[in-house]
Amino acid sequence: MAVIRVSRILHATTAEGPGLRTAVWFQGCSIRCKGCINPHLFSELGGFDMDPEKVVREAVGHRVEGLTFLGGEPFDQAPAAGNLARLAQQAGLGVVCFSGYLHEDLASRPDADELLNCTDLLVDGPYRADEPEANRALVGSTNQRFIHFTSRYADFDPVHTPNRLEMRIAPDGSVEMAGFLQRRELQDLSARLGTSRAWRRNTG
């Protein structure tokens, strides 16, 4: 079974979409939007391989509601990411997928079929630094769209949902963050904490 190349996996977070979730940051993004908060995820050479079955098994063990795919770019690994999404749905989990590609373009890609078919909510479109989003949670620019393929997240309202920031402090004192902040806020916070491990995109 194809492995996925990831930068990070975080179980039991409430900062990456509706409810309690397992967030999967894919490693590698060929879109490379100007101003992307996650340039460390551009290269496909970073990160590590993960077995999709193990990801789902651990997610179920953490009693999450679903998985969130973040970038990097999940559709740059569409077959493997599609397999992960299918396994997640077979286990009763929901799937939210962020992509810098437009749905219309993904729909014409045969290799994207499974990931699209096994996604409940797609958030599409590249990050555009000159079109900052001020009203909706989870997205960084106004062009990005919430596209529901199923009714699973029909109640999710990004306008009336606050962005969340989650911080986890490890026993060794290292700090990891998840959630969403605008780029400048994230940089300021990272500088104050003295950490570059600021993980949430403001992106597509």
Residues near ligand SF4 (CB under 6 A) are 29, 31-33, 36, 38, 41, 71-73, 100, 126-127, 201, 203-204
Q: Retrieve residue 189's tokens.
A: 């916070």
Decide: residue 25, CB within 10 A, 0-12 exposed, 13-18 middle, 19+ buried.
buried
User: Which distant-in-sequence residues (6+ apart) come within 8 Å of 57 by Cβ?
Assistant: none
- Compare residues 16 and 65 and give the one whose CB is closer to ligand SF4: 16
Provide, rounded to whole angstroms, the least separation between the CB of residue 191 and ligand SF4. 20
3-state secondary structure of 84: helix
- Compare residues 33 and 96 and give the one whose CB is closer to ligand SF4: 33
* Residue among 105, 97, 137 at smallest CA distance from 121: 97
Question: 204 and 98 in contact (C-beta within 8 Å)?
Answer: yes
Provide, rounded to whole angstroms, the least separation between the CB of residue 61 and ligand SF4. 28
By Cβ distance, which residue is nearest to ligand SF4?
100
Provide, rounded to whole angstroms, the least separation between the CB of residue 150 and ligand SF4. 23
Provide, rounded to whole angstroms, the least separation between the CB of residue 116 and ligand SF4. 16
Provide, rounded to whole angstroms, the least separation between the CB of residue 99 and ligand SF4. 7
- Compare residues 31 and 122 and give the one whose CB is closer to ligand SF4: 31
- Compare residues 12 and 182 and give the one whose CB is closer to ligand SF4: 182
Residue in the structure block whose two tokens are 């096994």: 118
| Residue 30: count of CB within 10 angstroms of its CB | 12
* Residue among 143, 141, 145 at smallest CA distance from 133: 141
- Compare residues 72 and 82 and give the one whose CB is closer to ligand SF4: 72
Question: 146 and 174 in contact (C-beta within 8 Å)?
Answer: no
Question: 165 and 62 in contact (C-beta within 8 Å)?
Answer: no
CA–CA gap between residue 164 and residue 155 (Å, rounded): 18
Provide, rounded to whole angstroms, the least separation between the CB of residue 89 and ligand SF4. 23
- Compare residues 70 and 85 and give the one whose CB is closer to ligand SF4: 70
